[in-house]
Each structure stands twice: as structure tokens, then as C-alpha cells.
Amino acid sequence: MNLSFPSGFVWGAATASFQIEGGVADRGRCIWDDFCRWPGKVLNGDTGDVADDHYHRYRDDVALMQRLNLNAYRFSISWPRIMPAGSGAVSARGLDFYDRLVDALLEANIRPFATLYHWDLPSDLQRLGGWASRDMAQRFVDYVDVVGRRLGDRVTDWITHNEPWVVAFLGNLMGMHAPGWQDLGLALQVGHHVLLSHGLAVPVLRALGGNQQVGITLNLYPVYPASGSEQDALAARRYDGFANRWFLDPLFCTQYPEDMMSHFGWQAPRIAPGDLETIAAPIDLLGINYYSRALVAYSEDAPLCAEQLHPAGEYTAMGWEVYPQGLTDLLVRVNADYAPHAMYITENGAAYEDRLVAGRVHDAARTRYLAQHLQAAHAAIQQGAPLAGYFAWSLLDNFEWAFGYARRFGIVHVDFDTQQRTPKDSALYLARVAAANAMDVNATQEEQ
Ligand code: FCB
């Protein structure tokens, strides 16, 4: 069976600045540099100082993407590389780097999708309160303006933020990401300021002229109740409120979900008049990062009274359940409830314990993961979801946040001692699908 994707479908891979660039001498310090030096926070004390050394090897990496038939690349811009102190002085070197990267991509016929914030807040701004401070929203806009004016004649696809949920909650409620706080009220306020900065940045990027497509990327989960009971349905609804609606509703419906506002009570964010209208600025695209689902049961002891279950099944090296059907369900639901103009899967992929043997990585599990999720994405398109593209996470094995270099998500293997890149079987698979703009479902099954 041959499944064709719509003509003009975008095929890419994604990365993020802190996770791949290295080149630390040419940028300011960021909150992840600090977090890496907080004992016990990052596995093996790993840092982003060298990472994939992409800062010095970007030309080779672009050539590699071209060989893999990718027609798009989602990368992020490092705020501290553009403005080392977070505001004020602009680094010409930093801007030049992204300028050269964008030119190299365009020469290779690869469409750049630039994410403006993928978690590397300049440390000097954290000292002023970071995203907990309302002032950050304006500082973000100032930074976005500098980047937009330099790259906006060639970059037309912009993503303001990557995963505000993770910024707010992993960083400020669970303490697992930088800056490492554990305070619900603070986390909710951070989330609000991130959304506010998004809403303020949208018109700035749109004003660049041309055909600017502007949006935001959310990590979303289809949520399923563990049983038909009323209590489990309630738990699933609340989990959905926390994971999905908390960000989707303000972006698309000019309000935070009422049930969650009353649940959070006095810890709910302070919202100034006009904020909700700013946040709901019309966007051209919604980026969705999909990795897994949430199966939820009612439990009095769990936060939100919603406990996530781990049913028998297949799991990745992150301990995330492989659940391709969830991607179809999610895309169809987001389309039904929020009707975005266009959706992109801006991340999808899996970590496995890969082995490089005689210059090859036979990552059958990852190849299967990609194939199953592409098939699920195709099913959502059949059901009317306006899905315009797919980005695999990630182009390269890289710094996986709190797990350091101990989790490999790349479709390309990286030897962190030699910086040697080796496309895994999954990369060769994606290259074939991208070239054909279609997948042969039977061929994939045979390959495995
Ligand atoms: C997402 C992040 C990305 C990567 C993947 C595995 O939450 O956006 O940087 O770490 O998870």
C-alpha cells in the first residue's frame, strides 16, 4: 500500500541551539549552562559546551540534510548568542552565524523554520527574575526584532516558543529543567509571561513583510481515561486541562480554561487587562511535538487527582510508551476544537540504545517508530487535519537536557569523541519517504 502526502508537504528534521551548537566561547551564558553545573541536575555532569560542535560544523550538517532529501530544517536561535547579556548589546558574530546558516540552507534548497526560544534564556535575565518577571516579555520582543530584521528577508517560517508547558512546569514546578524551581504559582506566572511574549512577538514578525508564517510549538498529549468510570473521565479531563487546554485555550480562544483556573485557585496567574487579547493574536501555524499519550486514572493521592498509568506495551529508552494512534487522535481533536490554519509536527521521534557497528546503525525500532507515526499522521490528513509538514526529532544525537548525552534521539549518530556523523537506518528510511513524498507501508513492514 502506497500512502502519498499532499504536494508541497514539508519533510524535515529538528534541533535546538543549546542541544547541538557548542561554540560556547562565542556566546553569553544561559540558564542551562548554570543548571548543568548544579550538582545532580544533569546526568554525568554533562554540559552544552561542545555538544555536536554544530557551530563550527554547520556546513557539513546542512550538506548531510541535503543528502537525506530533507526540504526543511527546524533549528532554534540562541538568545545569548545574539545578545550575550540578554538585552542591550547585539553580537555581530552571533547574527553572522545564523545568517550564514540560513544562506547555506537556502543554497541547499532547505526551507529554514526558525524557533526563537528553545529554553536557553541568558543568565543575566534570570538574575532579573527570568520568565517570572513580566518584563521578560518585552525583552523577548526586542530580541525577536533584532533577529527578524536580520533574517526576515530569507526566513519566512517562525516559531516563537518551543513547548511553554515544559518551560513553565518542568523548569519551575518540577525543578527538572533550568532554572530548577518548584513552585506552582511561579510556574503558572512563567507560563503566562511566555504566552504574553509570544503574543507580543507575533505582530513584530508579521510586520517583516513578505509571506511570513508565524506560530508557536506546543507539546501535546492525547489523554485517555483508564476506564468508562465517571471518576476516570474527570481525571482525564483535568489532565487534559493541565497538559493541553492550559495553553491551547488562551492561544485560540482568548481565555484560560475555567475549570483549571478554579482548580489553581489563588495560585492562578495574574493577568493584566488586555493580556488575553495579546496572547490570542492570530497565528498562521501551530507546531505540535508528539511523543506519546497519557492514559489516566483517578487517584486521590496524585496531583490533579489524575494518575498517569503505564500499560503493558512498547516503550522507548525514555520510558515513553509508543502509541502512534495517539498522533491521529491528537491532530484530529486539535483541528476539531481549535481549527488552526496549518499544523506541523515540529517534533516526533524516539530514543533507543543504538549501536554503531562497522559504520552502520541498524535502528529498526526507531525506523518502525517513524513509519508508524507517519502512517498515523497520514490518517489524520485523510480525516481533514491541515497537516503541512513533519520534522523528525532529531537530526543529530545531542544534549538531551537532564539526561545529558545519555539518550540518543538522532536519525544521525554522533560519536561525541570524534564528532563523526553516521546516518542511521532511520535517516535513510526518512530520506526515501521524503524523496517520494509517499510511504510504502508494505515495504516498511518487510524492512523490519
Ligand atoms: C522535547 C524538546 C526537545 C527534545 C525532545 C526529546 O520536549 O523540545 O528539545 O529534548 O523533547
Portion of the chain with pLDDT greater than 70, in percent: 99
Mean pLDDT to the nearest integer, 370-395:
98
Beta carbon of 166 within 6 Å of any ligand 1 atom? yes
Degrees to nearest 5, angle at CA 206 with 205 and 209: 105
Give distance in angstroms: CA of 13 to centre of ligand 1. Answer: 13
Half-sphere exposure of 181 (CA within 13 A, CB side): 19
Query: What is the reported pLDDT for 448?
Result: 47
Query: What is the reported pLDDT for 445?
Result: 56
Query: What is the reported pLDDT for 209?
Result: 87
Least confident of 170-174, 242-246, 300-304, 377-381: 300-304
Give distance in angstroms: CA of 349 to centre of ligand 1. Answer: 9
CB 15 within 8 A of CB 395: yes
d(CA 427, CA 161): 26
- Residue 395 pLDDT > 50, yes or no? yes
How much helix, strand and coil, in percent to the nearest 5, is found in the chain? 45, 15, 35
Query: What is the reported pLDDT for 447?
Result: 52
Q: How far apart are the first and last CA of the chain?
A: 16
The string of DSSP letters for 160-187 reads EEE-HHIIIIIHHTS-SSTT----HHHH
- Residue 443 pLDDT > 80, yes or no? no
CB 168 within 8 A of CB 181: no
pLDDT-derived band of residue 414, with 50, 70 and 90 as boundaries?
A: very high
C-alpha closest to that of 239 among 337, 306, 172, 327 = 306
Among protein residues, the one with the nearest Cα to ligand 1's atom 10 is: 400
Report whether the peptide linkage leading into residue 80 is cis, meaning its omega lies within 30 degrees of zero.
no
Residue 347, Ramachandran bin (φ over 0: left; ψ between -120 and 50: alpha; else beta)? beta
Residue from 21, 393, 407 to probe ligand 1 pocket by mutation (most atoms less than 8 Å from CB): 393
Mean pLDDT to the nearest integer, 313-341:
98
d(CA 114, CA 326): 27
Query: What is the reported pLDDT for 98?
Result: 99
Half-sphere exposure of 193 (CA within 13 A, CB side): 21
Whether residue 163 lies in the annotated active site: yes
Query: What is the reported pLDDT for 424?
Result: 98
Query: What is the reported pLDDT for 444?
Result: 58
Using one digit for the tens of pLDDT, what is the confidence trace for 25-83? Answer: 999 999 999 999 999 999 999 999 999 999 999 999 999 999 999 999 999 999 999 99
pLDDT-derived band of residue 325, with 50, 70 and 90 as boundaries?
A: very high
Using one digit for the tens of pLDDT, what is the confidence trace for 334-369? Answer: 999 999 999 999 999 999 999 999 999 999 999 999
Helix 54-67 × helix 92-107 angle, to 10° = 10
Beta carbon of 16 within 6 Å of any ligand 1 atom? yes
Q: Grid coordinates standing for 231? A: 471518576
Q: Which atom of ligand 1 is nearest to the CA of 217?
A: 8
pTM: 0.98
Query: What is the reported pLDDT for 442?
Result: 81
Using one digit for the tens of pLDDT, what is the confidence trace for 110-158? Answer: 999 999 999 999 999 999 999 999 999 999 999 999 999 999 999 999 9
Residue 245 exposed, middle or buried by CB count within 10 Å (0-12, 13-18, 19+): buried
Give distance in angstroms: CA of 431 to centre of ligand 1. Answer: 22
Mean pLDDT to the nearest integer, 200-224:
96
Mean pLDDT to the nearest integer, 179-199:
98
Active-site choice (163, 307, 321, 400)? 163
Q: Grid coordinates standing for 345? A: 509536527
- Cβ neighbours of 31 (radius 10 Å): 24
Whether residue 347 lies in the annotated active site: yes
Mean pLDDT to the nearest integer, 374-389:
98
Query: What is the reported pLDDT for 329?
Result: 99
pLDDT-derived band of residue 210, with 50, 70 and 90 as boundaries?
A: confident
Q: Residue 286 belongs to what H/E stretch?
A: strand 285-289
Give distance in angstroms: CA of 289 to centre of ligand 1. Answer: 8
* Residue-averaged pLDDT of the chain: 97
Mean pLDDT to the nearest integer, 168-173:
98
